[in-house]
Amino acid sequence: MYTLIGRFAMGLFLPEDSTFFFMKAFVKLTDPIIKAFKWITPSFLVQPFVPLYVAWFFFMFRFYLMPWLLGYSVMGMLSFPLESELARGVANLVGYLVN
């Protein structure tokens, strides 16, 4: 998702065939993903916005479907259960290392 957003942001300033290293890396990493989502990408969408559109699907998957599949009962606005689990684990690890 973040690579697709990076490609969109760099695409605002550079062409897709740019020789800049990061743009080449973003294009190389995201082209297979964009091609996989070609069947649900509307044809009227302007080409520079396609990576952002595909990133939206990854966000929706990450924000709504993953917590549900992992069994989290809290599903609300601004609810990031996976991030809170990660933060709790890091806090426990840091607390363990300090003690």
Q: What is the pTM of this model?
A: 0.67
The domain total for the chain is 1
Letter for the amino acid at 95? G
35: containing domain: 2-98
The better pLDDT of the pair 95, 37 is held by 37
Ramachandran category for residue 46: left, alpha or beta (phi over 0 → left; psi -120 to 50 → alpha):
beta
Which pLDDT tens digit goes with each residue over 2-30?
899 999 999 999 998 889 998 999 999 99
| Integer Cα distance of 10 and 20 in angstroms | 10
3-state secondary structure of 16: coil
